Amino acid sequence: LFETSPLIVSYRERPFRLRYPDGAELRSYTPAFELVLRSGEAVFVEVRYWRQPLDTHASQDLMEIHGLGQVAAHLRRSATPLVLLTDQVVRAQPRLAALKSIYRHAPRRIPSAPAATAAAASLQTLLPNRIDVVTERLAPTGVDVYSLLLSGLLICALDASVTQSTTVHLSQEAGHDWFHISQEHGF
């Protein structure tokens, strides 16, 4: 999910050990992930298994249940949020399968931002259209449709498998945030 989001510039797994006060004791905690968002903001992410459906207060309840409340409070003092994602959010289908498909099809060498922007602009009269048609049109540019999806310049529905017949559209979002992993946390 982090690799496919155009709102996330980079991420690190288990970035460092944090020491925080818990009453009279000094404890340590290692965040599961550190994200750097396009806005420049750093966010720490913890991923936990949760068996029950979440309600509006369950995220906070889960923080307390897993002893993350003190860590979250310590990080709030340094203006760095700790976001809890559950397996239900991370594994949400069919979104996860669609994003995995896009990621697998994208080349490892991503086109430059100017090349991607120019390629997307050249599609304005063609879109919306199917991936196979867009792929054929993009061939002379050296930019592929999946890279444009990963950059957020193109969008598609994530409620079904992504195939050659999937329709893509130009992104109308100013920040290219065509999907969110966690809507409430802005990424």
**Mean pLDDT per 10-residue segment, the chain (187 residues):** 90 92 86 92 86 53 62 84 86 91 92 94 95 96 95 92 95 71 74
**pLDDT at residue number 148:** 95
**pLDDT at residue number 74:** 83
Burial zone of 109 (CB within 10 Å; 0-12 exposed, 13-18 middle, 19+ buried): exposed
For residue 17 the two structure tokens come to: 């050990």
Q: Rounded to whole angstroms, how far apart are CA atoms 69 and 34?
A: 18
pTM surpassing 0.85? no
> Which residue type is seen at 37?
L
**pLDDT at residue number 21:** 83
Question: Cβ neighbours of residue 19 under 8 Å, at least 6 residues apart?
Answer: 26, 27, 28
